[in-house]
Amino acid sequence: MILSARGVVRSYGPTPAVRGVTLDVAEGEILAVTGPSGCGKSTLLHCLAGIIRPDAGEVTYRDQRVDLMSEAARSRLRRTEFGVLFQFGQLVAELTAAENVALPLLLAGTGRRAARTAALAWLDRAGVADVADQRPGQMSGGQQQRVAMARALVTEPRIVFADEPTGALDTLAGEQVLGQLVRVAHEHRTAVVLVTHEARVAGHADRELVLRDGALDDSGLGIAVPTGRHGR
């Protein structure tokens, strides 16, 4: 297992959002967490990715207790071992695609030239090499999300946390972005935790967990997505 959660609980004031979730993510696995709006998917993902701390329970990434780490240690983890991808790419509007993708490497201390070379390679893998020198405002939503995907993967994280990554795209663009994410993740043996309310999106995963009112439907083993649904 690359990531484990045990009895994760998180509330916002009196409102419980996640009520004791236990799950495991295997190395290289694409795990979908689905459920209706407001069931706690984003909150769970934020706990797993170390963006917020659970009120109770444990989150362990390769023998390291993420829930016990300082803010600085968690943000270091997110710059190196973890990648994050949100519904809106959150690209920096003033920077070109290549500059956006190079940014995490520059922050990690990589030299400018090496960072640009890696950024171009990842834009190519994401199928958007042609927009390398364009700014987000000049790109389609699908292109922006592919650039965001390249940026999430450029540091070669071991696990990517994706929150409704195709939520802002039309069906075709969404399918293409997701297909590419799954292909690249499998090639690089990167695990992906994918949160979505769309059943169609979950069809790309290896396994699906259903969250309702902040708790998993079953013991946390989940449903194996039938082979063939995601083209492997």
| Binding stretches for ligand ATP (CB under 6 A) | 12, 15, 17, 35, 37-43, 197
**Tell me, what amino acid is at 229?**
R
Shortest Å distance, C-beta 146 to ligand ATP? 22
State in angstroms the smallest separation of the CB of 194 from ligand ATP.
12
* Minimum CB distance to ligand ATP, residue 123 (Å): 29
Of the pair 17, 153, the CB lying nearest ligand ATP is at 17
In whole angstroms, the minimum distance from the beta carbon of 39 to ligand ATP comes to: 4
Nearer to ligand ATP among residue 7 and residue 38 (C-beta): 38
Q: Read off φ and ψ for residue 104, nearest 5 degrees.
A: -60, -30
Angle between helices 141-153 and 171-188 (to 10 degrees): 20
Closest distance between ligand ATP and the C-beta of residue 8, in Å? 12
Q: Taking the complex as a whole, how short is the minimal distance between the CB of residue 12 and ligand ATP, in angstroms? A: 3
Separation of alpha carbons 62 and 49, rounded Å: 13
d(CA 192, CA 89): 17
Q: Which is nearer to ligand ATP, 38 or 111 (CB)?
A: 38
CB of 224 to ligand ATP, least distance (A): 23
Q: Considering beta carbons, is residue 87 or 110 the nearer one to ligand ATP? A: 87
Structure tokens at 176: 């293409």
| 46 vs 230 by CB, closer to ligand ATP | 46
Which CB, 74 or 116, lies closer to ligand ATP? 74
User: Looking at beta carbons only, is 17 or 101 nearer to ligand ATP?
Assistant: 17
